[in-house]
Structure 1
């Protein structure tokens, strides 16, 4: 909270220095009631020209949507970056404005946006431009001619008979994870089974002890630090892995999507990240936050790459060195670990429970994709990038990447298009086959890099 308070104060100082008059409270709004009170205070002070929502930390998009709907003026969202120092991702503001942009776009609400430090060079011009600018313009999608591609044929055939088990409901305010099972089936042929979260927990609790012990012994071959975390919580993690395996086996699921928080922490007592990472490694792509379209995309990429895949958030962009950071708590499969680093067992940075993987990604060529519903139009987003060998940016699993286009342009497209905050990735260059998969599914392609 201290860092968030500091960044909030610096943001208001930048607004003052830019000569932009503001009304409303200058305190952090940490819950719905505080946000509603802030909006009421603003409404009681007369007409305004712009509603600026300063996204100091990650939040879901529910209050942003509510404030935008109540406002009769343009809306802008401003997120602030944080240093890549290998510690916990304290703010995660970029992911927050990404989530908000998607929700606003899906609701048909216009928005302006900024991702910049309050102390960045040219911040005054950026802020005055934000106050005066119009909403971003859409990027043209592409359609490609049908070409012979045996790999694309195989992927489409695989999707046409695939099953996804979704465990629990997606979190409130995560419009990025909404899905319609019938629409997904019509588009890809994928069938979706629903599993209650409590049923998954009961399966975990009843898992044989020897099976959980065997999973721990296998994990100890690659993960350092298993003895350094809470052992009861660690045992629950391996029991949850057993439950996920059983659900996938019983439902003949090719991929799963899991409501991984908060219930796994508060109701069951461990983190789901490590077990889901192990499912990824075992060839059952696993998506956080019950993101079914993300799960479908990871399955698509796994079939293309023939190796484990991962779904991550884009959490930071740095125009000074033209890089970005892909991160998720601790979900990456062990095969993606940089061979010069030691994979570690760790705890969730917020909930302080195991099991998570922790390591930087190995360097190499990657392809990113997202079966997207941004602005209520289905499309396939694709991008090419390179993972750079770099120190671990944040705790958990993360990679520093350089896109095939300038990171500023990539960021602009993501935000203007209101793309989802989850991106699936696989090592290798699969852009050509992805275009042909899209053609076979009658989907337009949005290539952002």
Structure 2
């Protein structure tokens, strides 16, 4: 899968400490040294920067000094290894920092001739976890880890956490530009900006549609316009040359949106793609959204801010892989597939070997009238994808995975049949998926990205205290929906 040039994101800052106690005589200091040296070798691969308090913590004063040092350094995450069991009060200074914590237990090893318990490490994890959850007013979820640093048990959990937290810290502080408001009648996409800010630290910025359009119309840089027009016409794009006027309009709009993104610090757009562009500028902007996504600026259609946020989050998790936004338009219980489709806002980078037909949008073509373009008519290439998005109140997250089948016939637009659907690594029938989606009340838009990032997306949401929508098995009877009496 080709990747776009996404804005550089900063690495996660991870602190590491080892809690120790003299009566436990296992080789805790040597094990801790080996473990942090192993972690140093993972920094580049997993996108984090490690700061280690190399001396074991044996007193509360040492715990306080270490917590202060890591907080002043700007740690995003502190991994507390219970190198051996140690006093419960040692965790208090770390809880007070309000920095996200992980608790790490290590194996006891082979019993010695002496026969005493060498480390009692996991009991220390259990103690600290309980204190954090029940006594210390700690505001974040806590993730536990077990195993030596080189063990698969530790590495798998740690890798997921690094991807999730790196995405979350880079998502925080982002700005989503809402251009033209939400599409008429799509009230299920309307958000409360305070919910978005509170849950994910993301700001919604309302952009004036008339000013965006005016900026596009007044552009006079002919050389730049020609360059942008050429950028739409990739090797795999077949363009209806009769719509050259529409291509110039989209090029003007692309320049305008990228200028606004730079000036306003916008990281993703939710663009109301109808009806105003058609009424006020005589153009359909599906292909524009596809090109913005190609260029690394997540762009959701129909003014869908939750999807724009979700697309940005998916890109951060997958280091910039191009994403798109789809409707789920029909089910095929015969082969347990569902059709992902939208008018045509998908990047040409995601098309199969047949490429893209960039032409008029049939939805707006009237009998005997002038065609209105442009949209990307393409079939998604084969591959594993993740579908994931936040609800409009940002209280829940939906994530599932599947495989795109580019051979099954479908309809004009950007589309692909999704088969071999899984949720939490378990197969999901098409009817089960429909039951899950409709029972949850999830909105009708589905962000899609190539790659298997379900676990990382779920964990990113969990760190933000956002609950997951769990699979619900299909049944012929109506399920109670918890409505007020």
Provide the residue aligned with 2:231 in structure 1.
218
Q: Note the alpha carbon deviations across 1:374-407, whole angstroms, 9 max, x for none.
A: xx67201111111113255111210111122100
Provide the residue aligned with 1:380 in structure 2.
397
Provide the residue aligned with 2:215 in structure 1.
203
Provide the residue aligned with 2:324 in structure 1.
310
Distance 1:268 1:173 in 2: 21
Provide the residue aligned with 2:348 in structure 1.
334
Q: Note the alpha carbon deviations across 1:172-225, whole angstroms, 9 max, x for none.
A: 321221011111011101112111111111111122332221112222233533
1:159 is aligned, of 138, 147, 171, to 171
Distance 2:213 2:183 in 1: 18
Provide the residue aligned with 1:409 in structure 2.
432
Provide the residue aligned with 1:193 in structure 2.
205
Provide the residue aligned with 1:41 in structure 2.
none
Give the secondary-structure state (helix, strand or coil) at the position aligned to 2:437. Answer: helix
1:182 aligns with 2:190: no
TM-score scaled to structure 2, two decimals? 0.60
Provide the residue aligned with 1:344 in structure 2.
357
Give the secondary-structure state (helix, strand or coil) at the position aligned to 1:283. Answer: coil
Preserved CA contact (<8 Å) 1:255 1:295: yes
C-alpha distance 448-212 of structure 1, shift in aligned 2 (>3 A)? farther
1:263 is aligned, of 272, 276, 285, to 276
Distance 2:240 2:279 in 1: 22
RMSD of Structure 2 on Structure 1 (CA): 1.9
Give the secondary-structure state (helix, strand or coil) at the position aligned to 1:398. Answer: strand
1:445 aligns with 2:442: no
CA apart distance, 1:263: 0.6
1:421 is aligned, of 444, 458, 465, to 444
Distance 1:441 1:335 in 2: 31
Structure 1 residue ranges without an equivalent (≥5): 1-142
Provide the residue aligned with 1:233 in structure 2.
246
Distance 2:142 2:417 in 1: 34
Larger Rg: 2
Provide the residue aligned with 1:324 in structure 2.
338
TM-score scaled to structure 1, two decimals? 0.65
Provide the residue aligned with 1:364 in structure 2.
383
Preserved CA contact (<8 Å) 1:392 1:398: no
1:400 aligns with 2:423: no
Distance 1:162 1:190 in 2: 5
Count of residue pairs the alignment pairs up: 304
Q: Which moved more, 1:213-222 or 1:247-256?
A: 213-222
Preserved CA contact (<8 Å) 1:381 1:448: no
Q: Which runs of 4+ in 1 moved over 3 A?
A: none
C-alpha distance 415-235 of structure 1, shift in aligned 2 (>3 A)? same
Preserved CA contact (<8 Å) 2:341 2:416: yes
Preserved CA contact (<8 Å) 2:141 2:463: no
Provide the residue aligned with 1:272 in structure 2.
285
Structure 2 residue ranges without an equivalent (≥5): 1-139, 145-157, 366-371, 423-427, 473-485
Distance 2:207 2:394 in 1: 28
Distance 2:207 2:185 in 1: 21
Preserved CA contact (<8 Å) 2:240 2:359: no
CA apart distance, 1:304: 1.1
Distance 1:295 1:266 in 2: 24
